[in-house]
Amino acid sequence: MKITIIGGGNIGGAIAGGLAASTLMKASDLTVADPSAAALERIKGLNSAIRTSQDNAAAVEGADLIILAVKPWLAEEVSATFRDKLNFDRQCLASVVAGVSFEKLKTMLDNGKDVRPALLRLIPNTAISLRESVTFIASDGASESQLNAVVTLFKELGQTVVVSEAMMAAGTSLASCGIAFALKYLGDSIKGGVELGFDETQSREIVMQTMRGALALLQANGTMPQTEIDKVTTCTAEVTHNGELTESVTLDTALRFYTNSGSEVKFAYTTLEESSVEVTLQVYKMATLPVSVSFINAPRDFDDSVLTYTLSKKTLNVAGPASQIDKMSTLSVGTIDLSTFSLNKVYEMPIELPSDIRLLDNISTITVSFDSSKLETKTLNLPAACVQVVNLPSTYTLTVETERLMNVTLCGPAGAMEALTPEQVVIEIDADDFAVAIGQQNIACRLYVPSNGKIFALGSYVIQCKIESN
């Protein structure tokens, strides 16, 4: 089967990498089309046998399956570039474009040949890059053999579930959004482990193994989660204190045990290693603290004063141990990734506080709005001479093979951008950020302007390099 993927972004690239690594097809039977030369370079970095093209119309000719993998707002425009070349008597089109229905696809792909198109809709999740996705598949006009062929292909990239189009939104919520919920839980659990005294690496391994164990229980027993939870007997330390507390107090408290049904367990013939625990009743101090936002993936020596923003709430009322409250002068309510920053976007930030700090305001998010009136963008093509390599062990040599980093978008104060030249920009490759290994690699880089700390790059960029041993 010959396959063409229209769109070489995150999802298109992940599908291409997974299919190229599968046992069901040759990488040379796979073509990826994208207008961006940089995107196609990244695809080639996955497997050099993958064919690439900047011409969508030419790319679809000869394909048995076309996979449309572009942003929803680009779907109609991109479809117009190749629909006249489609032959629905033998070709099938599968769309991974979220929110675009079969009826909309039929309208976009109408090439005037009065042939009912064979269409599929695919909703994977981000784990497709590791071939561990759950992919929902719906069909309209596709033959059984066409559907089965696509199901077989995507089983190479994880699990597949064939559903009606009406269930695609539910599948998106359960698995595509669900993986974000799972990662949020894991992230909070790791953070909790650190606050309990483990280092971050230990906490990460403990939480991940706990999750693996939970999954293994469900798979081995064929049970639902609550069945496993209900097997656990509850142990509690129940405290009663009469009178007003003006300071924290620690009480020695007896342990009490309960069955699944809530009946207390009395141990007549069992000696407990520990029969009581110390319970601290904490007296909290209240405070009103100003709110701030932090930034990640910022360039070296970045001056974030260039990012002027307003908050839907400038202060928050909190309570916590006096020792903690007294150390806090501001509350950082979240981080904004500058690599995905948008000048006109309004950010809805979830309020995340340390585990021992309680929010007294009845809100869960804060809106962050940026004033972009004094910012401008400029797109540059940066030559390889702009690359600087740092922290590379002396036993290795790194050669930059990308001649020019194309279509780099830089943002900064209006007055500074007009005169900005490629020679003023540094493309930094930090060997501490990746595993140094002999051979060709696509390496993520950081961009900054040494002469102006208020300029930053929009988007993420990679450089193709060759690493050799000295």
Considering the chain, what percentage of its residues have pLDDT values greater than 90? 45
Of 438 and 343, the one with more pLDDT: 438
Q: Among 189, 220, 215, 224, which residue's Cα sits nearest to residue 203?
A: 189
DSSP result, 13-26: HHHHHHHHTSSSS-
My answer on whether 34 and 166 are in the same domain is: yes
Residue 158 amino acid letter: G
Cα dihedral: 392, 393, 395, 398 (round 10): -10
Mean pLDDT of 187-207: 89
My answer on whether 364 and 452 are in the same domain is: no
Residues in the chain: 470
- Which of 36-40, 86-90, 168-172 is predicted with the least confidence, judged by mean pLDDT? 168-172
My answer on whether 421 and 311 are in the same domain is: no
How many independent structural domains does the chain possess? 5
> What is the domain extent for residue 403?
375-469
- The span from the CA of 138 to the CA of 161, in Å, is 9
- The span from the CA of 16 to the CA of 156, in Å, is 12
Query: Element (H or E) spanning 310, and its range?
Result: strand 308-311
- The span from the CA of 132 to the CA of 418, in Å, is 46
Last residue of a domain, one of 176, 200, 221: 176
Two tokens, residue 185: 């839980």
Mean pLDDT of 288-309: 89
pLDDT at 233: 62
Mean pLDDT of 309-334: 89
Considering the chain, what percentage of its residues have pLDDT values greater than 70? 96
- On the question of pLDDT at 10 being above 80, the answer is yes
pLDDT at 271: 64
Mean pLDDT of 219-243: 70
- The span from the CA of 96 to the CA of 5, in Å, is 10
Mean pLDDT of 117-123: 91
Residue 290 amino acid letter: P
Last residue of a domain, one of 157, 176, 195: 176
- On the question of pLDDT at 226 being above 70, the answer is no
Q: Which H, E and C letters describe 423-434, residue by residue?
A: HHCEEEEEHHHC
Two tokens, residue 439: 């051979």
My answer on whether 153 and 193 are in the same domain is: no
Query: Element (H or E) spanning 149, and its range?
Result: helix 144-155
Cα separation values, 450 from 198, 341, 455, 456, Å: 38, 21, 9, 11
Q: CATH number of the domain that 99 lies in?
A: 3.40.50.720
My answer on whether 28 and 142 are in the same domain is: yes
My answer on whether 101 and 218 are in the same domain is: no
Give the pLDDT confidence of 53-84 residue by residue, as tens digits.
999 999 999 999 999 999 999 999 999 999 99
Query: Element (H or E) spanning 182, and its range?
Result: helix 178-196
My answer on whether 405 and 418 are in the same domain is: yes
Mean pLDDT of 161-173: 87
Local confidence band at 268 (pLDDT 50, 70, 90 cut-offs): low
Of 126 and 375, the one with more pLDDT: 375
What are the residue ranges of helices labelled H in 197-286?
A: 200-221, 225-229
My answer on whether 86 and 109 are in the same domain is: yes
My answer on whether 20 and 149 are in the same domain is: yes
Q: CATH number of the domain that 423 lies in?
A: 2.170.120.30
Give the pLDDT confidence of 354-384 residue by residue, as tens digits.
888 899 999 989 999 988 888 999 999 999 9
DSSP result, 318-375: EEEEHHHHTT-S-EEEEEEEGGG--TTPEEEEE----TT-EE-SS-SEEEEEEE-TTE
Local confidence band at 294 (pLDDT 50, 70, 90 cut-offs): confident
Contact between 425 and 452 under an 8 Å Cβ cutoff? The reply is: no
Average pLDDT over the chain, rounded to an integer: 88
DSSP result, 109-142: T--SS----EEEEEE--GGGGGT-EEEEEEEEB-
My answer on whether 319 and 223 are in the same domain is: no
- On the question of pLDDT at 267 being above 90, the answer is no
Q: Which residues does 46 contact at the CB level (< 8 Å), separation at least 6? A: 13, 16, 17, 20
- On the question of pLDDT at 172 being above 70, the answer is yes
Q: Give first-to-last CA distance, the chain, whole Å.
A: 43
Which single residue is written with the structure tokens 């953070």? Answer: 191
Q: Which residues does 138 contact at the CB level (< 8 Å), separation at least 6? A: 102, 120, 121, 162, 163, 164, 165, 167, 168
- On the question of pLDDT at 234 being above 80, the answer is no
pLDDT at 445: 92
Sign of CA dihedral 309, 310, 313, 318: positive
My answer on whether 407 and 463 are in the same domain is: yes
Counting DSSP H helices and E strands in the chain, the numbers are 12, 27
pLDDT at 227: 60
The pairing of strands 456-458 and 461-469 is unpaired
Cα separation values, 245 from 65, 249, 325, Å: 71, 8, 18
My answer on whether 130 and 25 are in the same domain is: yes
What are the residue ranges of helices labelled H in 48-90?
A: 56-60, 75-79
- On the question of pLDDT at 100 being above 70, the answer is yes
Neighbouring CB atoms inside 10 A of 58's CB total: 14
